[in-house]
Chain A
Amino acid sequence: MVKIISAKEAASLIKSGESIMFGGFLAVGSAETIIEELKELGTSDLEMIVIATDYEDKGVGILVSNKQVSSIKTSHIGTNKATQNQMNNNEIKVDLIPQGTLLEQIRSAGAGLGGVLTPTGLGTVVAEGKQVIEVDGKEFLLEKPISADFALIRAKKADKYGNLVYDKTARNSNPIMATAAKITIAEVDEIVEAGEIPAEDVVTPGVFVDYLVLKK
């Protein structure tokens, strides 16, 4: 059953060296209050999984700038010079993964699958060291599941059972990441009584959510 906790309590659950998938894209749909608390706590050596490393001073980029991250699985670092500099100085390990592949790897972890077969990346450096599997005469890359200790996601509204709805393009990776971590914490703008979100409208069922944090 979902528990309502503060952003500070949420950040305190995470220990140095643990892995976190962060919902959000270019700081839209990010759990920004919890990210701020993680910065305050200085939790270090984090393994980050995120679509893009946002900006130096916004979104997950804050944690990169503050040197709290040791490795990143992501599709894009072009908007954050801190990520690029730390990668070039070997301070941070960056795995660049095609965005659609990264999301399917996360989805497959959440769905209990052994990975996905995708044509994306065939004939490129992405395919290096990976198994190529032929299905009905077509080649695919085997991409393995990606899970994490925590998923920090952001939604517009939750009910007290943790059912979530999102706002426009702030939905992005959040519903996928909600499924794929040991513990999922959702930062929301509003928490309402059960029944106030029509069952038909729920995007992420509360079964995936462990903690709710009200955004500051």
Chain B
Amino acid sequence: MEVIDKRVVIGKRVAQELKDGDYVNLGIGLPTEVANHIPEGVRVFFQSENGIMGAGPAPTEGAEDENLINAGGGFITAIKGASYFDTCLSFAIIRGGHIDLTVLGALQADQCGKLANWMIPGKMIPGMGGAMDLVTGSRKVIVAMEHCDRRGNSKILDNCSLPLTAKNKVNLIVTERAVIEVTSDGLLLKEVAKGYTVEDVISCTDAKLIISENISYF
């Protein structure tokens, strides 16, 4: 599957988790795809941690406002009813439990709901930005990522080996192959993407999976 197709599959499936009225923060990269697939009849407010609630789509060419960007540095618009605030208040919204759902990309996620997404020692050290606060404070955390890395290694592990973003905070993992819930008993495989079987998912996942009795396909 092409990378772009994987993004669409993941974005569409995560979007099904949006509830009408939710306040949502989408991380940089893959999670932004979710905004393209909001279910009909569902109205959500997107927060960007640099200081806006009610972020709208990218402006048309030539209509960019140099003072209106999202946390990834891209130009955005503001919806009617949006609000601006400083970044300290923005993180009070995040850390204080006022964000219903945050969707983040990850390098690794594990069976205890830990996730690693901000550095690979010796290779890549961009910094955590707002990720640690988002994962710690949001009411629900979804990891949206490709199932395996570029070398084909599982990104879903028994234990994360990279430096952690947070402990025990992830609720749901959505990949282009599966939907996996983090439960107190471990990782519960609930859904499998069309074109894959339960066995396919098990064989490409390092972490131990509990298989739901009612597997559905997405």
A contact residues vs B (CB 8 Å cutoff): 25-26, 28-29, 51-52, 74-79, 84, 87, 96, 98-101, 103-104, 106-107, 118-126, 166-176, 203
Mask of B39-55 contacts with A, CB within 8 angstroms, 1/0? 00000000011111000
Q: Are A28 and B67 in contact (CB under 8 A)?
A: yes
Given contacts A99-B133, A120-B137, contact A172 B128 (CB under 8 A): no
Known contacts: A120-B95, A123-B166, A124-B163. The answer to whether A171 contacts B129 by CB under 8 A is no
Q: 11 interchain pairs (CB within 8 A)?
A: A25-B87, A75-B128, A79-B73, A98-B133, A124-B167, A166-B84, A168-B78, A169-B67, A171-B51, A172-B51, A203-B86
Q: Is B166 a contact partner of A171 (Cβ separation < 8 A)?
A: no
Partner of A100, one of B66, B73, B133: B133
Q: Which of B66, B68, B86, B132 contacts A174 (CB 8 A)?
A: B86
* Number of B residues with CB within 8 Å of any CB on chain A: 39
Could you tell me if B127 and A74 are in contact, using CB atoms closer than 8 angstroms? yes
Cβ-closest chain B residue relative to A55 = B73
- B125 CB–A CB distance under 8 Å: yes
Interface check B94, CB cutoff 8 A: yes
| Complex CA–CA separation, A100 to B91 (angstroms) | 5
- Asked if A126 meets B132 with Cβ closer than 8 Å, knowing A75-B127, A120-B95, the reply is yes
Whole-angstrom CA separation of A96 from B136 in the bound complex: 17
Asked if B165 is an interface residue, CB under 8 A from chain A, the answer is yes
Main DSSP-derived SS at the A contact region: mixed
Contacts of A74 in B (CB 8 A): 127
Which chain A residue lies CB-closest to B116? A124
Q: Give B residues with C-beta under 8 Å from A.
A: 48-52, 65-70, 73, 78, 84-88, 91, 94-95, 114, 125-133, 136-137, 163-168
B52 engages A172 (CB within 8 Å): no
Give every chain B residue within 8 A of A173 (Cβ-Cβ). 86-88
Query: Chain B contact residues: over half helix, strand or loop, or mixed?
Result: loop
A76 to B197, CA, bound (A): 39
What are the nearest 8 A-B pairs in CB distance?
A78-B126, A100-B91, A123-B167, A100-B133, A170-B67, A98-B132, A76-B127, A76-B129
Known contacts A99-B91, A100-B91, A176-B86; A75/B130 CB under 8 A: yes
Chain A residues contacting B114 (CB-CB under 8 Å) are 123
Taken together as a complex, chains A and B put the C-alpha atoms of A107 and B166 apart, in Å, by: 23
Q: Which residues of B have CB within 8 Å of A171?
A: 51, 84-86
Residues of chain A with a CB closer than 8 A to B95's CB: 100, 118-120
Residues of A with C-beta under 8 A to B125? 77, 84, 87, 96
Residues on the A chain within 8 Å of B67, using CB: 28-29, 167-170
Min distance, Cβ B169 to any Cβ of chain A, angstroms: 9
Q: Which residues of B contact A174 (CB under 8 A)?
A: 86
Contact B126 A76 (CB under 8 A): yes
Task: Tell whether A176 pairs with B88 under 8 Å between CB atoms, given A99-B129, A119-B136, A120-B95.
Answer: yes
Query: Which residues in B have their C-beta under 8 angstroms from that of A28?
Result: 50, 66-67, 69
CA distance A144 to B91 in the complex (A): 17
A29 to B85, CA, bound (A): 13
Could you tell me the distance in whole angstroms from the C-beta of B31 to the nearest C-beta in chain A? 16
Task: Report the minimal beta-carbon distance from B93 to chain A, rounded to whole angstroms.
Answer: 10
Question: Assuming A76-B127, A77-B127, A124-B164, is B88 touching A103 (CB within 8 A)?
Answer: yes
Partner of A175, one of B69, B86, B91, B130: B86
Minimal beta-carbon separation of A95 from chain B (angstroms): 10
Say whether A172 contacts B87, CB under 8 Å: yes
Chain A residues lying within 8 Å of B52, measured Cβ to Cβ, are 168-169
> In the complex, what's the smallest C-beta–C-beta distance from B85 to chain A, in angstroms?
7
> Which residues of A are found within 8 Å of B70, using beta-carbon distances?
169
